Structures are given as structure tokens and as C-alpha cells.
Amino acid sequence: MDIIQRDLDRILPKVAKPARYTGHEWNSVVKDWDQVEVKVALAYPDTYEVGMSNLGLMILYDILNREEGILAERVYAPWIDMEEAMRRAGIPLYSLESRHPLADFDIIGFSLQYELNYTNVLNMLDLAGLLPLAAERGDADPLIIGGGSGAYNAEPLADFFDLFVIGEGEEVLLELVNMYRRSRITHHASRITKVDFLREAAKIEGIYVPSLYDVRYHDDGTVAAVEPLVPEARARVRKRVVGTLPPAPTKFVMPYVDVIHDRAMIEIQRGCTQGCRFCQAGFIYRPLRERPMDEVLQTVEDIVQETGYEEVALVSLSSSDHSQIEPLVRRLTTDYQHPPLAVSLPSLRIDSFSVELAEMFQGRRKTGLTFAPEAGSQRLRDVINKNVTEEDLLRTAEAAYSSGWRRIKLYFMVGLPTETLEDVAAIVDLVKKARAIGRRHQRKRTQVNVSLGTFVPKPFTPFQWLPLVDEATLEERQALLRRGLRGPGISFSWQDPRTTLLEAALSRGDRRLGPVIHRAWRLGAKFDAWDELLDEDLWWRAFADAGLDPNFYARRDRSLDEVLPWDHIDVGVRKEFLVEEYQRSLRGETTIDCREGCVDCGVSDEFCCYYGV
């Protein structure tokens, strides 16, 4: 560590944002390395600014460090200049808290949130002096585990990880770490025997060990079967669910540089009842669980005491769906007046955002409001089961602008199933109507920011069988919106079409994509989520070298009876229900919100989608 410190003192003044790499932030946890039994590195495969804004990693950091005998430290992907300087100086990738090389840890856990970060995983392992391929690592190397939404289809990454945590990690990660500790004590060894440990770990609900499964393919390239090779491996790996949300972290690590979301966060509920057919999170994070209002209020008080933050985000997939959202916001805006506490409500549901809720912020610092109509026409909103109307949006815009907001942000998608040019043109009409409402209240100061994404069909959704829109159609629809969304008071941004084909191929890929990811990384691919660094030609070369076509994974209609690469993962939602929802979408039929009645999605009685139904 002294050598690492000496070399860091020499190179840090020469790289951008050196505070990304120094550690020692307020509220970071530093334990005595020699006095703990299991050492865990929590890795985020993107920059410090992005990773420090991830609430899931903060939750696991807090839970692990509360345990005696366990330490958890953080590591993020170094930016290009820092990586080059580290390689020249021979500095291995290290943790921020103690600056130990990652290879010294027992377990390295990667948070997998976005497919375009996959090459960063390999790059971080290599920078740590570890071989990316799991089959080439030995018992002396750390156990490499993955979790997060990307783990629900783990097949493209199966070659690189020892195991995956499927579902919510708060309980299962502790079980896994304690099993590791017991295994090492039993065998009187500083490291475990991985083969034996992985077979035991596979018995834990929510643990998927890809090396214990064999994948067979048909001659046409589709999956024939994913079959366990040993008795310990389950035929279907069921996701882990926590019945009650554990205590939220309050001692947030305070960053030294500006991060994406530089504010306190508290998860006020997990899961969603709306059933939007494009939304993977809405299906994989079922059931809905609310954090009680009193607990939220106490946690916010503790966060303010521990951090001094002046803004807190009430986080969930749809914050305004919380049953106590109005009294909760009223208490927060009343209790914190000197100085005032800015409260942000990300991912608001349009039809549940009331005038009363908007007026609670009157006279306070406005942090912006974000809504997601997703589609411009009612016909298409019915197809995707986005149960809001144009009247809902305009009524919400009226409430926001009349209560003092000058800016709202609207998310839309193109490439949705059954979409026509008329549906896309309806986005322009809707945005201009919202702007007109704003100008009536705010005059020329009003702003409507429009963000456009491309629909990417995801596993475990009713649209998982559908193809990605072709590039010519995507360009046509983006061009229509670029022409229509010009003028004062409208800001328009759209997703780079280069990323969508790659994202779709990786999100719906099978195990044969492992060599593609490995080859792309070898060719120099990394930070593919960053437009300035994405070189898609490297990926197309990697696909070609592997004899595979990205369009086979991204732009191919899949039959309802096809074995999907992720069919051996059980997220609690019946595949038959997803088929029914897909067929309803083609008929333009909507499905009720779970709070209005059970839709029989398959979530067990133990974890009903909405308590009380």
C-alpha cells in the first residue's frame, strides 16, 4: 500500500478529477484490515460520478459494514487518463477506503445495471491483475460475483463470473458472505476451494452458478435447453425478495467531486403495480413494498444530521404512488424550513400527481419535475399499458406551472410495438400543448425538456419476443421529431441510435456472446455507454470473429414457444401472464393497476403485489 500511495502521489496531479481516486470521503468506512475475516470489494463498472449515485451499492455498503468481521470497500472504473497512468506506473486497481489491490479481497461484487458497461467489468478485472475468464482463475483469486438488473439475463456474462445474485441482495449477500466465512474456517484455509464452494452456494435461493449448467442449441442458433449439471443446481433459479424493506442508509459517503445525483436518497417504496408492458423494472422488482411514513421521516432527519445535504430524493419507480406521499411531502416541507430542504420526486406518475402535491412546493426551491408519457397517442399508450391520458398530462402541467415550476421534463420512446408516424407526430402536438400551458403561467420563462429514448425489448416483459426497430425507421422518426420540436421553450435530446442495436443484442443474448464481449474488450472497447468513446465497429468486428450476427439477437421476432436464454430464471411472474399481456397489447387492451385488483401475474401469496388486495 505504501508503494501504491507513493506512485499515486506522483500521478494524481496529472489526471482529470484526481479526487475520484483518493478516497477518505466523509462517512466512508475504514475497518482494520487485519481484524476482519471476509473482505468484500463493491465494484461499479463506470466512473466515480456515476457509481456514487447508485443507491443499491450504497445499501449493500451499509449492510455489509454493519457486520462484525466483514468489511466492504468501493471501487469504480478509472477514466481513460487514470487507467493509462496506472498501467504505466504498474499500479493495480485498488479500493478507495484502504487502497488495497483488488486481488487482495476475498469477494469482488459487481453491480450490473447497464449492458454497455460489460466491457468495463473485464477491463477492471484486468487492471486488478485478474484474468477475466472465470475458468482461468484459481482458488487463490477472489470470488467474482454479479448482481443488479443485468444479472436477470446473466448468460452473456457467464464466462466471466463465478456466480450471480438473482433478485434483491440485502439478505442473500449476507448469507453468501457468511457461507464463505464458514467454509474457510472449516477448511482452515485463507482461501476457499471454489469448485466445492460454488456447489454449496448453488443451494441458496437466488444464487445462479453458470458453470453448473449446460446450454444446448438448435441448428438454427436458438436455445434448445439450459440444464443443471449437478444436483445442487436448481432447474429454475428463483429470485430473492425481501418482504420488508431493511433500514435505509443514513451515513452517505460524501463525494469530493460533483456526481450525477449529488443529494441524499431514500427508497420510499420498491416495486410497481402499474404493469407498463415495456418496463423490465416493473416486472422484475415485483411485489410492491412501501416504507412507512414515520420511518421515512426519521431516516430523512438522520440523513440531514449525518450529511448536511439540503436536498433529498424520495426514490421509487413511481414516487407519487406511495399511499402517504401527500402527507409525507407536507411534513418534509413543514419540518425543514430553516434552512429549507429541497424535496425531489423522480419518476412521477402523471395521473397521480395532484394539484395539492404540486402546491406544497410553492415558494420553495424548485428542483424540476420529470414525467414519462412514453407515447404521444392514446392508442399507443393503450398498447404499452401506460394508463394515462392526454388530459392527465395537461392537467399535471397546469398544476406544475401554476405552482411556480418553470421547467418540466418529459420522456418519450420511439420504436414501440405497432407504432406509426401518426403516433410519433402526436408527441409534437402534446409537447406544444404543454408549452402553451407553461407560457400562460410563466410567459417566456417556461421550458419543456423532451428526452427521447429508443424502445429496446427486454427479458421478462410482455415485449420480450419482439424485435428492435430497424435503423431506417428509427432515423425517420427521430428526424420527424427534430423538425417538430424546434423553437423557444423546447429542448430536445435523443438517444444515439448506435447504442440501441448493441444494447438490444446484449440484453437478449445467450452464452455465446461471452467470446464476443471478450473479443470486443481485447480490441479496445470500454466505456461503451459514453458516446465519445463508443466505437461500434469494434463490436461488429467481434461479432463477426465469433461467427454471430447482432441482428439475430436484436431484430428477430421470437416465437412464443421458443426457449429463451433466461427461461431458467424465475422472477415470480408467470411466463403465461407475459404471453397474455403481449396478446392484449396487440388488441390494444389495457390491464388494470394491481392496486385495483389482482391480475394473477404469478407473484406468490407470500409476496402479494399489493398488500391488502
Residues 233 and 141 in one domain: yes
Mean pLDDT of 56-82: 97
Within a domain: residue 429? Answer: yes
Distance separating alpha carbons of residues 103 and 140, to the nearest angstrom: 9
Within a domain: residue 246? Answer: no
Residues 339 and 471 in one domain: yes
Q: What pLDDT digit, counting tens, does each position of 260-291 carry?
A: 888 899 999 999 999 999 999 999 999 999 99
**CA 369 to each of CA 267, 314, 358: distance values in angstroms, whole numbers, following the listed order:** 18, 13, 10
- Which pLDDT does position 367 carry in this prediction? 58
Q: Which residue has the higher pLDDT, 379 or 441?
A: 379
Quote the crossing angle between the two packed helices 55-65 and 169-186, to the nearest 10°: 40
The alpha-carbon radius of gyration of the chain (Å, integer) is 24
Mean pLDDT of 221-226: 97
Q: Output the domain CATH number for residue 97.
A: 3.40.50.280
Strands (E), 550-593: 569-570
Mean pLDDT of 508-530: 97
Distance separating alpha carbons of residues 605 and 23, to the nearest angstrom: 45
Residue type, 416: L
- Which pLDDT does position 355 carry in this prediction? 62
- Of 246-255, 314-323, 419-428, minimum mean pLDDT range: 314-323
- Which pLDDT does position 495 carry in this prediction? 84
Within a domain: residue 204? Answer: yes
Query: Which helix (H) or strand (E) is 547 found in, with range?
Result: none
- Which pLDDT does position 514 carry in this prediction? 98
Of 188, 220, 238, the residue that ends a domain is 238
Q: What pLDDT digit, counting tens, does each position of 527-559 carry?
A: 999 999 999 999 999 999 999 999 999 999 999
Residues 205 and 276 in one domain: no
Residue 491 backbone dihedrals phi, psi, to 5 degrees: -115, 130
Residues 209 and 349 in one domain: no
**CA 604 to each of CA 152, 239, 286, 574, 599: distance values in angstroms, whole numbers, following the listed order:** 19, 12, 10, 10, 12
Residue 415 pLDDT > 80: yes
Residue among 341, 374, 591 nearest 462 (CA): 591
Residues 191 and 328 in one domain: no
Within a domain: residue 84? Answer: yes
Residue 520 pLDDT > 70: yes
- Which pLDDT does position 328 carry in this prediction? 93
Residues 293 and 420 in one domain: yes
Distance separating alpha carbons of residues 369 and 361, to the nearest angstrom: 11
Cis peptide before 373 (omega within 30 of 0): no
Q: What pLDDT digit, counting tens, does each position of 1-10 carry?
A: 666 778 898 9
Within a domain: residue 587? Answer: yes
Residue 565 pLDDT > 70: yes
Distance separating alpha carbons of residues 586 and 382, to the nearest angstrom: 10
Residue among 560, 556, 504 nearest 278 (CA): 504
- Of 120-129, 291-300, 600-609, minimum mean pLDDT range: 600-609
Residues 118 and 13 in one domain: yes
Show the domain range for 306. Answer: 264-495+573-596
Residues 183 and 269 in one domain: no
β-partners of residue 387 are: none
Within a domain: residue 186? Answer: yes
Residues 220 and 286 in one domain: no
Within a domain: residue 459? Answer: yes
Percent of the chain with pLDDT over 90: 79
- Cβ(100)–Cβ(40) under 8 Å? no
Residue 610 pLDDT > 70: no
Number of domains in the chain: 2
Distance separating alpha carbons of residues 76 and 504, to the nearest angstrom: 25
Residues 191 and 275 in one domain: no
Distance separating alpha carbons of residues 209 and 161, to the nearest angstrom: 8
Mean pLDDT value across the chain: 92
Residues 212 and 271 in one domain: no
Residues 221 and 119 in one domain: yes
Within a domain: residue 310? Answer: yes
Q: Output the domain CATH number for residue 342.
A: 3.80.30.20
β-partners of residue 408 are: 369, 448
